Chain A
Amino acid sequence: MADARDLPSVPPVVAAEQLAAEGEVAIGAGPAGIPGQERSERVRRVIVYVLLFLVALLFFVPFFWSVTTSLKTLPESVGFDLLPDNPSIRAYRSALSAYDFNRYFLNSVFLAAVVTTSTLFLASLGGYAFARLKFPGREFLFLLVLGTLMIPNELRLVPIYQMLIDLPVLHVNLLGTYQGYFVINLVTATSLFLMRQYFLTIPKDYEEAAKLDGAGYFKTYWRVMLPLAGPALAAVTILTFQGTWNDFFWPLIIFLGDETKYTLPLGIFQFRTQFYTQWPELMAASVIAIVPIALIYVFFQRYFVAGVTAAGVKG
């Protein structure tokens, strides 16, 4: 297994530094102006902008199309009018009544909220210890954390499936329970890594001041370090929330067969296999799944960038 320094840590560190700088990223080197070529330069720029907008449009069309279709009737959905004649939320109602998408939505919110909370707490607490506290074996334990990044989910499928059916020592069956999902998603190495890197960039003066005031380690973590780690916490929040919200693999393994525990991705999959070409309803369900993440993205774009770059370690 690779040494810590051998892992491709360059972009995450950059991401952490960007977070630390807390500002818009530096503008890259623009083309140097060559006198006498301004006109052709302007023409070139217009062409570039037109092309860019076309590509951006291409990236958006599928989403636009899914939203308009979700407001259409079935006959309209196989036609190609850009906008529905009589936009209605019929498809949303119909999808919600055919299956309990309200419930799936709430399940998705519940899973994402719990996993995000536990990840935030454990990753920041562990990250603080790895960044600041000295204890024998620290480097080895940190290598172990990074080592988990090399283990693909699929390899864990069978052992974890068996573990959930009969949890060692306690001998309880967690398959099909929320607890089963939570226990395997308490914290991720990526989040812990991200928090540690961020804490390393914080000057030690703050803690020393707290120490002089007689604050203990937990109090220093809670009162001094956490308030200073806002950007990293935001990145971990978004990363974890999005990852859990979109997760299909583990909910499929843990909840398949028990509709009361389905999340939105499982609900969409079930809907698709039952009503193959009910496009407005299928698009309505997809829009319900995409919109919350899209809203978070619009408002917290900066933290998305840092989080995703760091998450790349995991792949």
Chain B
Amino acid sequence: MATVAKTHSAAHRATLGRESVREALVGYAFVALPIASFLIFFMYPLANAFYISYFDWGALGKIESVGLGNYRDLLDDFLFGKALRNTLYYAAVVVPAQIALGLGLAVIVNQALRFRTFFRAAFYFPSIAGSIAITAVAAYILSADGLLNAGISAISGDEYNRPWFGQSDTALESIMALNIWTTSGTMMLFYLASLQSIPTDVYEAAAIDGAGPWRTFWKITFPLLKPGHFFVAVVSVIGALQVFDQAFFISAGSGGPNYSTMTIVLYLYNTAIEGARFGYASAIGIILFAIIFTLTLIQRLLFGRAEVA
């Protein structure tokens, strides 16, 4: 990294030596607090989570070592299975929808449109509001006598009164719809950054060859967006697997109705904070970490190679 030019005299080098020691000390001092903070509140918790997960650990501390017992118990835990299935189902719907919508919006607002800035702002707007405030708004619109049902009633002619968040066959799906809406703007921004890194001369070449917009998109834009796809997919998957706020809000923490909104993180929270079963909760956290880590690696293998280019 350090390539020092060899044009200095010996006397110069002596002062430089002292100077570089000083520089190093100052460097350590400047990064000391951030590094300490990351070690204490990230790296140590990571190691500690593994450690705690090998114990039966209650509110008053360690009870006994259970080895992999917590992990074995998870296999037979009905609620954990439910939470895992719900979360994977949630991710399987939300991730592709977010990616498709984000890409579509990005391609549109990347064109030389009038009011382009306005459209970008409008599409991104739902992403800036806090998850709790926006879920409260959604709870109102999707309530039994809310705006959505009124719209459906007006179109169909029949009175429609479904409490979307209150019935187990639509509660999780409603959270999906909510989050697809609120985060597609963020995905749009990621794709926009990626789109703008594509050199314009590729498009000029395509236009000379007579390629239409549809063909240009699939043959040129889409493949060239490979780093963007990887990035968006990773961010989207990680976010989806960690869904918590919305499920916690609409079910008041219970994961109801009928555990239809029980997610992995909600179950983890309940196990740790409500149940004070810290060893078991840590095992859930490790499983989630392992899933995220594995999926990120797989996505890397799928999309990663183009990044070198």
The answer to whether B38 touches A145, judged by C-beta atoms less than 8 angstroms apart, is yes
Name the interface size band of chain B: 35 or more
> A206: CB under 8 A from chain B?
no
How far is the CB of B152 from the nearest CB of chain A, in Å? 12
Q: Would A31 and B213 count as touching, CB distance under 8 A?
A: yes
In the complex, B121 has a CB within 8 A of chain A: yes
A10-B228, A308-B189 known; A155 vs B111 contact (CB < 8 Å): no
In contact, B133 and A144 (Cβ under 8 angstroms): no
**Known contacts A59-B125, A315-B234, A315-B235; is A159 also within 8 Å of B133 by CB?**
no
A133-B272 in contact given A28-B110, A154-B242 (Cβ < 8 Å) = no
Residues in chain A near residue B34, CB distance under 8 A: 122-123, 126, 145, 186-187, 192
State which of A144, A249, A301 has its C-beta within 8 Å of the C-beta of B43. Answer: A144
Contact B26 A246 (CB under 8 A): no
Give the distance to chain B from A205, nearest Cβ to Cβ, in Å.
17
Contacts of B273 in A (CB 8 A): 161, 253, 256
Nearest-Cβ distance from residue B81 to partner chain A, whole angstroms: 18
Q: Are B133 and A155 in contact (CB under 8 A)?
A: no
- Residue numbers in A under 8 Å from B118 (CB-CB): 56
Q: Which chain A positions have C-beta within 8 A of B48?
A: 159
**Category for how many chain A residues contact B:** 35 or more
A14 touches B193 (CB 8 A): yes
Interface residue B293 (Cβ < 8 Å from any Cβ of A):
yes
Chain A 255-282 near chain B by CB (<8 Å), digits 1 or 0: 0100000001100110011000101001
A126-B34, A157-B285, A246-B130 known; A62+B141 contact, CB < 8 A: yes
* Given known A-B contacts A10-B227, A31-B213, A268-B133, A138 and B268 have beta carbons under 8 A apart: no
Contact (Cβ within 8 A) B227 A8: yes
Q: Which residues of B contact A212 (CB under 8 A)?
A: none
Interfacial chain B residues near A136, Cβ < 8 Å: 24
Q: Interface digits, B36-55 against A, CB 8 Å rule (1 contact, 0 not)?
A: 01110111111011001000
Give complex CA distance A211, B304 in Å.
42
Q: How far is the CB of B2 from chain A (nearest CB, A)?
A: 6
Contact call A148/B189, Cβ cutoff below 8 A: no
In the complex, which of the residues B132, B234, B238, B281 contacts A268, with contact meaning CB atoms closer than 8 Å? Answer: B132
B35 and A141 contact, CB distance less than 8 A = yes
Given that A60-B125, A65-B141 are known contacts, is A128 also in contact with B30, CB under 8 Å in the complex? Answer: yes
Taking A29-B203, A161-B272, A242-B128 as contacts, is the C-beta distance between A18 and B140 under 8 angstroms?
no
Q: Is the interface of A mostly helix, strand, loop or mixed?
A: helix
Contact with A along B248-259 (1 / 0, CB 8 A): 110010000000
Is the C-beta of B65 less than 8 angstroms from some C-beta in chain A?
no
Residue pair B41, A160 in contact (C-beta under 8 Å): yes
Report the Cα distance A10→B117, complex, angstroms.
Answer: 23
- Which residues of B lie under 8 Å from residue A249 when comparing CB positions? 244-245
Distance between A275 CB and nearest chain B CB, rounded to angstroms: 12
Query: Is B200 positioned at the interface, with any CB of A under 8 Å from its CB?
Result: yes
Instruction: Please encode chain B, from 181 to 219, with 1 for each CB lying within 8 Å of some chain A CB and 0 for all others.
Output: 100011001101111110010011001000001000000
Instruction: Determine if B145 is an interface residue (Cβ-Cβ < 8 Å).
Output: yes
Contacts of B136 on A, CB cut-off 8 Å?
Answer: 268, 272, 282-283, 285-286
The CA of A63 and the CA of B134, in the complex, are separated in Å by: 9
Give A62 to B147 CA distance when docked, in angstroms.
Answer: 9
Chain A residue nearest to B207 (CB atoms) is A32
When chains A and B are docked, how far (Å) is the Cα of A301 from the Cα of B116? 13
Within 8 A of A (CB), among B116-164: 117-119, 121-134, 136-141, 143, 145, 147, 150
Tell whether, in the assembled complex, residue B143 and residue A277 are in contact, meaning their CB atoms are under 8 Å apart: yes
Contact of A134 with B122 at beta-carbon distance under 8 Å, contacts A11-B193, A63-B137, A248-B132 already known: no
**Bound CA–CA A298/B127 (angstroms):** 13
Known: A31-B111, A184-B41. A10 touches B194 (CB 8 A): yes
- Kindly state the separation between the CA atoms of A161 and B25 in the bound complex, as whole angstroms: 34
Bound-state CA distance A301–B121 (Å) is 8
Check B150 against A69 for contact (C-beta < 8 Å): no
Known contacts A154-B288, A294-B129; A30 and B111 CB within 8 A of each other: yes
Instruction: Supply 17 further A-B pairs (C-beta < 8 A) apart from A62-B138, A155-B288, A290-B133.
Output: A14-B193, A25-B192, A30-B111, A62-B141, A65-B137, A80-B147, A126-B35, A134-B23, A139-B1, A152-B289, A158-B282, A163-B41, A248-B245, A268-B132, A282-B139, A289-B133, A312-B190
A residues whose Cβ falls under 8 Å from a Cβ of B: 6, 8, 10-11, 14-15, 18, 25-32, 48-49, 52, 55-56, 59-63, 65-66, 69, 78, 80, 122-123, 125-126, 128-130, 133-136, 138-139, 141, 144-145, 147-148, 150-163, 183-184, 186-187, 189, 192, 217-218, 221, 242, 245-246, 248-249, 252-253, 256, 264-265, 268-269, 272-273, 277, 279, 282-283, 285-286, 289-290, 293-294, 297-298, 301, 304-305, 308-309, 312, 315
Query: Could you show 7 A-B contacts with beta carbons less than 8 Å apart?
Result: A8-B227, A15-B193, A48-B108, A52-B108, A152-B242, A155-B289, A286-B134
Closest CB pairs A-B (n = 4): A246-B130, A135-B27, A159-B45, A129-B30
| Interface set of B (CB-CB < 8 Å, partner A) | 1-2, 20, 23-28, 30-31, 33-35, 37-39, 41-46, 48-49, 52, 108, 110-115, 117-119, 121-134, 136-141, 143, 145, 147, 150, 181, 185-186, 189-190, 192-197, 200, 203-204, 207, 213, 227-228, 230-231, 234-235, 238-239, 242, 244-245, 248-249, 252, 264-265, 268-269, 272-273, 278, 281-282, 285-286, 288-289, 292-293, 296, 300, 304, 307
